[in-house]
Amino acid sequence: MKNSSTQDERIAKMSFASVYPHYLTKVQKKGRTKEELHRVIKWLTGFDDKKLKQMIDDNVTFETFFKKAKLNPNAHLITGVICGIRVEEIENPLTQKVRYLDKLIDELAKGKALEKILRK
Chain segment 5-48, per-residue pLDDT in tens: 888 899 999 999 999 999 999 999 999 999 999 999 999 999 99
Residues 6+ apart with CB under 8 A from 106: 82
Print the domain residue range for 87.
5-117
74 CB neighbour count, 10 Å cutoff: 12
- Compute CA 51 distance to the chain's CA centroid, rounded to the nearest angstrom: 15
How many whole angstroms separate alpha carbon 14 and alpha carbon 116? Answer: 29
Cβ atoms 89, 1 nearer than 8 A: yes
According to DSSP, the residues that pair with 15 across neighbouring strands are 61
Q: Which of 6-15, 37-46, 70-79, 92-101 has the lowest mean pLDDT?
A: 6-15
Bridging pattern class, strands 81-82 and 85-86:
antiparallel
Counted domains in the chain = 1
What is the CATH classification number for the domain harbouring 104?
1.10.8.290
| The residue type at 59 | N
